[in-house]
Amino acid sequence: MNDPSHDPPGDDRRDGMFSARAGQPVGRRRIAPRAEETSDVRRFRGVLWAAVAAGLAVLVAMVVTIDPATERTPGPLSKSHQAAATCASCHVDDQPPAARCGSCHEPHPSTRPGHRRLAGAGALVCTSCHPAHAGHGGVAFTPSGTVWRFGPGAQEEVEGLRVVPKPAAEKRVPIVAVERCGRCHDPQAKDDPIAACLLGDQRELGGARPTVCFDEHRAFGGVAFSRGEGVYARSRLWAAAREVAGVAPVAPHAPAKPQSAGWWLGVAALAAVAAWGLARGVAWLLRRRQRSLAPRPAAAQPPKIRRLPQIDTTTCIGCHACVDACPYDVLEVRSFVAVVVRPDDCCGLTLCEQRCPNGSLVITDGEPIEDRPRVDAALQSLDTPGLYVAGDLTGLPLIRNAINQGALAARAAAASLRAEGAAAVGTDAAPLVDLVVVGSGPAGLSASLAAAEAGLRTVTLEQGSVAESIRSFPRGKLVFDQPLGLPLEGDLWLREATKEELLGQWRRIIRARRLPIEEGARVTAVRAAGGPTPRFEVRAETPSGSRRWIARRVILALGRRGTPRKLELAIPEAVSDRVHYSLADARSFAGRKVLVVGLGDVAMEAAIALARQPGTTVTVSYRGREFRRGKGRNIEHVQRLAAAGRIELRLGTEVERIDEGMIVLRAAEGLVQVPWDAMLVMIGSLAPWGFLEAAGVARARVGAGIVPVG
């Protein structure tokens, strides 16, 4: 069949779908996924509050700033109506407002026959030419000689007229704009009668152009005058009004009320943002409070007594919860009941106990543990004050624990330094620093980070490179995050990640925080100097020669893996570069013959990784006659590979001699020769007790009593 090739499985497990590359089981997980509150669910939290707040805010802003009565009017009244008229004066029920003009004004019909005809037919009423709210006002002459050009809701004084009439009482001449005449007249046409009413130079005003035929209602020279004034006085007023129409053709308008749509909507927006923020903030506070109320698991203390899980088989439901919680595969489920299968590997943490759903598993106390440093609750040595121990050395080999302990020790050191006060600066040859961290594994890094945060002058000395013990994990190995039990201190992020992801994150942190880490500096001695306050002399071999520091505090974060246990036989100089103590990248051994010595977890994982490489011949030599320790899945995997012929298992053998081409193994039935290109010696590591004791950290011994936890 043709080749439906799959995409490469990618290093990222989130990339694409499940990859079926052989030997990468993706079946059961050890950690139950938790329900998450995704942004889909959170998205509209607080939006309802924001909406309500915005609506209310805009309402309040408007109700406070506007007067509803004025809102209903289409505009201000012109000067002549302002004093007397209310809305009800003109707007009565459904009658047209023009019908009410007669209540104040006497009838004074138009002088023009055409207009009269229209008025008679009801097509021309007062408001046709004189709209009350949006009219063009007129000119007012006062007895004092002031002339006002007025419009709806406003007036302005007109000065510099050639003739200024001074009537006995105030007189007004209304002005009508030409747009009012547009229904019948064409202002553009020369022969239209209205052309005579327009001033010549105001074409650009368009519809607002004032008409100056003021004889609409009273003929200029006729007999219609009934009261008081003479023709002369009126013609003076008209002439003056005509002049005003020329000077101020457009009626002034009342300025817009100080209302701003933008302002109101801005208030609404502010209220919305505030309400949204408040709702989210309150929810966040509530959540935080709930979290802080939840019992926090205590920071892990190194166990002082051997402890073992005990299982009530009558109530155990065989759910694997404890099995999955255990980092060391101490437990297994057999016949639907959990059993302790590897008691020696038990770390004494109560992860399994916490995980058991129905209390069938409890941790019981056993005998005291011997190999652990005498330290107090803050990890300070009980024998040498100022000296701290963190990480695997304390007897709890978990990466996460190491991170926590490093931070704990550094904070304790910082606190005691604060209590002690400032100190002088040392010499160039032996600079005085606040803190020397020995080792840059998870514990050392975490300590350096915490020290940097506390503002300590710190030096971190690392004999190899950063996190070497983790770097020597086989490529791609999953670094399991434990399901619960240990709160995580500091930023050295750790979830279910591969070794590369973890290292990448650490490198980023070191770069970003500029942590002072001296790589390649092998500490040769840490010596406590006498005196009222703790002082330590730290000596180290660096690539540039030996160096010396005077330190006020020292954190030993050496780890146990630091010095691998070596074979008890001489390795010829010629082949020493073919003997390795860790496996960094199995791919570099592809196609070669490799002998793995040892059958612990590290050795098994290395053998499995090597067996996966094309063309690699893997032989495993182990002293024991059977699998003695290690994780269940590793043993199973190795056995399967051995059955398939990918790994040659030589149990009950020891390395006798190493030659150029052959390694000789001693077995019960005689000597065996194994051809080799490379040898991996993985028979555990030695705890650096000699170094520790020289520095002043004593070992707790059986019968030495249990140190009370402060």
Partner 1 sequence: MTDPWALLWSTPVLRGLDEAARRTVAAAARVRTLTAGQLVFGEHDPADAFYVVIEGAVELRAQRRGDEQRSVLRTAAPGDTFGEEALGDGGGRRGQAVAREPTRVAELPAALVLRGAGRSGGAPLAERELRRLRRQATADLLRTMAATRALDEAELDRVLDAVQSRAVARGTAIYASGDPPDGLWLVVDGLVQLQTEDDDRIHVRAYLTRGDGFGDDEALAGEARGCTAVAMGETRLLLLPAALLRSLVDRNPGLLDRIRRIAADRQAVQSQAVGAAAARSTQHVFKDLYRMQMARSLLVIDQDTCVRCGHCAWTCEALYGTSRLVRRGDKILTALSTPARGGAASGSLRSLMLPNSCQHCKNPVCMIDCPTGAIGRDPEGEVFIRDSLCTGCGNCAKACPWENIRMAPRPGGARAGRADDPMTSLSAELATKCDLCRGYEAPGCVQACPTGSIVRLDPARDVAEVAAVLGPASEGPGARKTSRGWLHGALRGLGVAAGLGLGITALRLQQVGAWKPGVGPGLDAGVVAAVGVLALVSYAAPKRIVGLWMRRRRPRSAARRLAEAAEGRGAGSRETSPRSQVRGWLSLHLVLGMITMAAVLGHAGLRLPSNPAGSLALAFWTVSALGVLGALGYRLIPRRLARLERRGDLPEDLVAERKALLDRLFMQASGRDELVKAIASRVLVPYARAVLGPLALLASGRRLADEEARLHAMIDAMREGRGQGRLAGLDALVRTAVELRALPLRRGLTALLRGWLPLHIVVSAVVVALLGLHVVVMLGGP
Q: Which residues 218-257 are close enough to bind partner 1 by CB under 8 A?
A: 256-257
What is the distance between the alpha carbons of residues 447 and 282, in angstroms, rounded to a whole number? 35
Cβ proximity to partner 1, 321 vs 346, nearer residue: 321
> Which of 59, 189, 298, 569 lies at the binding interface for partner 1 (CB under 8 A)?
59
Least Cβ distance, residue 94 to partner 1 (angstroms) = 11
367 belongs to the binding site for partner 1 (CB under 8 A): no
**4 DSSP assignment:** -
Compose the 162-201 pattern: x for residues touching partner 1 by CB under 8 A, - for all others.
----------------------------------------
Window of 122-130, 351-359, 418-426, 463-471 that interacts with partner 1 by CB under 8 A? 351-359
Window of 5-13, 278-286, 599-607, 656-664 that interacts with partner 1 by CB under 8 A? 5-13
- Residues in the interface with partner 1 (CB under 8 A) total 89
- If you count them, how many residues does the chain have? 710
**Which residues inside 25-44 make contact with partner 1, applying CB under 8 A?**
25-41, 43-44
Look-up of token digits 């130079």: 201
245: left (phi over 0), alpha (psi -120 to 50) or beta: alpha
Burial class (CB in 10 A: 0-12, 13-18, 19+), 621: buried
Contact 381, 374 (CB under 8 A): yes
278 belongs to the binding site for partner 1 (CB under 8 A): no
Cβ proximity to partner 1, 40 vs 106, nearer residue: 40
576 belongs to the binding site for partner 1 (CB under 8 A): no
Q: How many CB atoms lie within 10 A of CB 585?
A: 11
**Which residues inside 280-339 make contact with partner 1, applying CB under 8 A?**
313, 315, 317-321, 324, 335-337
47 belongs to the binding site for partner 1 (CB under 8 A): yes
What is the distance between the alpha carbons of residues 186 and 77, in angstroms, rounded to a whole number? 28
Rounded (10°) CA dihedral 227, 228, 234, 240: -130
**Which residues inside 475-504 make contact with partner 1, applying CB under 8 A?**
500-501, 504
Window of 68-76, 220-228, 397-405, 658-666 that interacts with partner 1 by CB under 8 A? 68-76
Q: At what angle do helices 261-293 and 47-65 cross, to 10 degrees?
A: 140
21 belongs to the binding site for partner 1 (CB under 8 A): yes
Give bridge partners of residue 210 from the DSSP assignment. Answer: 177
> Which of 199, 205, 265, 378 lies at the binding interface for partner 1 (CB under 8 A)?
265
Distances (CA, A) of 541 to 75, 389, 432, 464, 538: 93, 21, 18, 12, 10
Give bridge partners of residue 593 from the DSSP assignment. Answer: 617
365 belongs to the binding site for partner 1 (CB under 8 A): no
153 belongs to the binding site for partner 1 (CB under 8 A): no
Cβ proximity to partner 1, 268 vs 687, nearer residue: 268
Least Cβ distance, residue 566 to partner 1 (angstroms) = 29
546 belongs to the binding site for partner 1 (CB under 8 A): no
1 belongs to the binding site for partner 1 (CB under 8 A): yes
**Which residues inside 590-649 make contact with partner 1, applying CB under 8 A?**
644-646
> Which of 108, 587, 628, 701 lies at the binding interface for partner 1 (CB under 8 A)?
587
Least Cβ distance, residue 400 to partner 1 (angstroms) = 20
Least Cβ distance, residue 233 to partner 1 (angstroms) = 40
> Which of 344, 585, 659, 693 lies at the binding interface for partner 1 (CB under 8 A)?
585
Cβ proximity to partner 1, 128 vs 142, nearer residue: 128
Contact 646, 657 (CB under 8 A): no
Contact 74, 133 (CB under 8 A): yes
User: Which helix (H) or strand (E) is 275 found in, with range?
Assistant: helix 261-293
Least Cβ distance, residue 463 to partner 1 (angstroms) = 24
Cβ proximity to partner 1, 593 vs 623, nearer residue: 593
Look-up of token digits 């701290």: 388
Residues with Cβ < 8 Å from 206, sequence gap 6 or more? 179
Look-up of token digits 């001693």: 666
What is the distance between the alpha carbons of residues 406 and 383, in angstroms, rounded to a whole number? 19
**Buried residues in 627-637 as b, exposed as e (16+ CB within 10 A):** bebbbeebbeb
Cβ proximity to partner 1, 268 vs 449, nearer residue: 268
